[in-house]
Amino acid sequence: MKTLFQIASQLRRDTRGQDLIEYALMAGFVAVAAGAIMPGVSDSINTIFTKISSVLVQAAAS
């Protein structure tokens, strides 16, 4: 059986999951930045999608 020290040593040398962790951190930072930016932009986005929706409803009706 491996000792706890041997397992910890192997985990420290294993870098296979390092990229995944880095990508997850970057995705988290992007999500935080988007959350900080979106409140100021949300009204504009809502207006655009409302206009698109009304045009699609009119096109479907004709």
Structure tokens at 41: 């932009």
Strands (E), 17-62: none
Confidence of residue 51 (pLDDT cuts 50, 70, 90): very high
Q: What is the pTM of this model?
A: 0.40
Confidence of residue 11 (pLDDT cuts 50, 70, 90): low
CA distance 34 to 21: 20
Percentage of the chain lying above the pLDDT 70 cut: 79
Mean pLDDT of 23-29: 82
Is the pLDDT confidence value at 50 over 80?
yes
Is the pLDDT confidence value at 36 over 80?
no
47: left (phi over 0), alpha (psi -120 to 50) or beta: alpha
CA distance 10 to 2: 10
CA distance 32 to 34: 5
